Amino acid sequence: MPNHPRYTGMFPIAPTPFRDNGDLDLDGQRRVLDCMIDQKVDGICILANYSEQFLLTDQERDVLLGQKKRPADEPPAVVPAGTRHSARRSRKF
C-alpha cells in the first residue's frame, strides 16, 4: 500500500475570482492564494465544491491549477477528484 502523507490543520477553499466580463481574474486568484499562504494555512483546496467550478471549462480549470504551482516550501494544494476525469487532471499538477 502506498505511503500517502497525512494532512492536518487548516485547508481553506480558495474562491475563484472573475472579472466583470466573466473571464478568470488570474491576478485576483494569485492575491487570494498569496493571502492564504501569508496567513500560514496548512494547505489550500483548489476547485472544491463552490458553484463556480461548474461554470469553468476544462482549460480554465487547468489554468487555475497551474496558478498553484509554487515552491516546495509552500502549502500543498488539495484538488477534489470525484471522477476519473478530475483525478487525471489533479495528477497533472
List all residues 6 or more positions away from 30 whose beta carbon is below 8 Å from its beta carbon: 67
Give CA separation, 29 vs 26, 67, 82, in Å: 5, 8, 23
Return the ∠ at Cα 54 (arms to 43 and 7), rounded to 5°: 15
What local confidence, expressed as pLDDT, does residue 25 receive?
Answer: 94
- Cell 483546496 belongs to which residue? 45
The number of residues in the chain equals 93
pLDDT tens-digit readout, 14-35: 888 899 999 999 999 989 989 9
What local confidence, expressed as pLDDT, does residue 9 receive?
Answer: 92
pLDDT tens-digit readout, 42-88: 998 887 766 677 778 888 888 887 776 666 677 887 776 655 555 56
Q: Can you tell me the distance from the alpha carbon of 81 to that of 17, in angstroms, rounded to the nearest whole number?
A: 21
**For the whole model, what pTM was predicted?**
0.73
